[in-house]
Structure 1
Amino acid sequence: MHIVWFKRDLRIEDHEALAQAAKHGPILPLYILEPELWLQPDMSHRHYMFLQDCLSELNQALEKLGQKLIVKVGNAVDVLEELHESHSIDGLWSHQETWNGWTYARDKAVKRWCKSLNITWHEPVQNGVIRCLNDRDGWAALWYHQMKQPLIDKPVKLQAIEEATNVLPSYRELSLTEDGAHDLQKGGRSEGLKLLHSFLYERGEGYTKEMSSPVTAFESCSRLSAHLAFGTLSIREVFQACEKRNQEIKQMPRGAKGKWPSAMRSFSGRLRWHCHFIQKLEDEPRIEFENMHPAYDGLREDDFNEEYFEAWKAGMTGYPMVDTCMRALTATGWLNFRMRAMVMSFASYHLWLHWRKLALHLATLFTDYEPGIHYSQVQMQSGTTGINAIRIYNPIKQGVDHDPEGVFIRHWIPELREMDQAFIHTPWQAGSKMNGYPMPIVDEKIARKAAAEKLYGLRRNNASHKETAKKIVSKHGSRKSGLPRTVHKRKANNTSQGELPL
Structure 2
Amino acid sequence: MTSPHIVWFRQDLRLHDQPALLAAAEAGPVIPVYILDDDTPGDWRMGGAQRWWLHHSLTSLAKDLEGLGSRLVLRRGSAVDVLEALIEETGAETIHAIRHYEPWWRKAEEALGDRLCLHDGNHLARPELVTTGSGKPFRIYSAFWKGLQGHVPPEHPLDPPKTLSAPTKWPKSETLNDWDLLPTKPDWATGFDADWVPGEAAARERMADFVEKAAAYDTARNMPSEEGSSRLSPHLHFGEVSARAVWHALDRTAETETFRKELAWRDFTDGVVMAIPDYADRNGRDAFDKMPWRKGAEAKKDLKAWQTGRTGYPIVDAGMRQLWATGWMHNRVRMITASFLIKHLLIDWREGERWFWDCLIDADYGNNSVNWQWVAGTGIDANMFGRIMAPLSQSEKFDAGDYIREWVPELKGLSDAAIHDPDEAGCRPKDYPAKIIGHREGRERALAAGKSVRG
Is the contact between residue 410 and residue 416 of structure 1 (CA under 8 Å) also seen in structure 2?
A: yes
Deviation at 1:40, TM superposition (A): 4.7
Q: 1:395 aligns with which of 376, 391, 394?
A: 391
Separation in structure 1 between the aligned mates of residue 27 and residue 370 of structure 2, nearest angstrom: 39
Aligned position for 1:145: 151
Q: Distance in 2 between matches of 1:292 and 1:155?
A: 43
1:209 aligned onto 2:219: yes
What is aligned with 1:154?
A: 160
| Deviation at residue 392 of structure 1 after TM alignment | 0.9
Does 2:17 match 1:18?
no
Q: Does 1:340 align with 2:318?
A: no
The answer on 1:415 being equivalent to 2:410 is yes
Residue by residue over 1:193-250, the C-alpha shift from the partner in whole angstroms, topping out at 9 and shown as x without a partner, is 111111112x43422111101101xx2211111110000101011101111x13xxxx
Q: CA deviation at 1:268?
A: 2.2
Worse overlay, 445-454 or 383-392: 383-392
Q: Does 1:384 align with 2:395?
A: no
* Structure 1 residues 260-299: aligned runs within 5 Å: 261-262=254-255, 264-299=256-291
1:17-41 superposed Cα distances (whole Å, 9 cap, x missing partner): 1112222222211111224479856
The structure in which a higher percent of residues are helix is: 1
Deviations 1:112-163 (A, max 9, x none): 3x34xxx421112221232486233777555663643132233333211222
Q: What pairs with 1:61-460 in structure 2 (closer than 5 Å)? A: 61-99=64-102, 104-105=103-104, 107-109=106-108, 111-112=110-111, 114-115=112-113, 119-126=114-121, 127=123, 128-131=125-128, 134-136=136-138, 140-142=146-148, 145=151, 147-161=153-167, 162-163=169-170, 164-170=172-178, 172=180, 178-179=187-188, 182-183=191-192, 184-201=195-212, 203-216=213-226, 219-243=227-251, 245-246=252-253, 261-262=254-255, 264-300=256-292, 303=295, 305-385=299-379, 387-390=381-384, 391-403=387-399, 406-429=401-424, 433-456=428-451, 458-459=453-454
Deviates more, 1:367-376 or 1:426-435: 426-435
Matched-pair contact (CA < 8 Å) for 2:291–2:452: no
Asked if 1 retains the 8 angstrom alpha-carbon contact of 2:52 and 2:181, the reply is no
Structure 2: runs of 5+ lacking an equivalent: none
| Rounded Cα–Cα distance in structure 2 between residues aligned with 1:384 and 1:176 | 38
Partner of 2:63: 60
> Distance between the aligned counterparts of 1:12 and 1:335, measured in 2?
28
Q: Give the distance between the partners of 1:2 and 1:364, measured in 2 at CA.
A: 34
Match of 1:257 in 2: none
Contact kept in structure 1, 2:145 and 2:261, CA below 8 Å: no
RMSD: 2.6
Q: Number of paired residues?
A: 432
Does the residue aligned with 1:356 lie in a helix, a strand or coil? helix
CA contact (8 A) 1:76 1:106 kept: no
Code of the residue aligned with 1:207 in structure 2: it is: Y
In structure 2, C-alpha distance between the alignment counterparts of 1:433 and 1:208, rounded to whole Å:
34
Instruction: Give 1:105's aligned amino acid.
Output: W
Moved more, 33-42 or 344-353: 33-42
Once residues 34 and 379 of structure 2 are traced to their aligned partners in structure 1, the CA distance between those partners, rounded to angstroms, is 36
Letter in 1 for 2:281: F
Ranges in structure 1 where 5+ consecutive residues have no aligned partner: 247-260, 462-502
- Structure 1 residue 107: Cα displacement: 4.7
1:361-410 Cα offsets, whole Å, 9 max, x none, are 01222111111111001011111125433231101101111226x22212
Tell me the distance in 2 between the aligned counterparts of 1:18 and 1:287. 31
Cα gap change, 1:199/1:174 in structure 2, threshold over 3 Å: closer, same or farther? closer
Q: Structure 1 length as normaliser, TM-score? A: 0.79
TM-score (norm 2): 0.87
Tell me the percent identity. 29
CA change 1:430–1:208 in 2 (3 A) is closer
CA distance in 1, matches of 2:182, 2:417: 48
Check conservation: 1:185, 1:333, Cα contact below 8 A. Answer: no
Alpha-carbon separation, structure 1, partners of 2:375 and 2:95: 39
Shift of 1:354: 0.4
CA contact (8 A) 2:13 2:239 kept: yes
**Bigger shift: residues 344-353 or 442-451:** 442-451
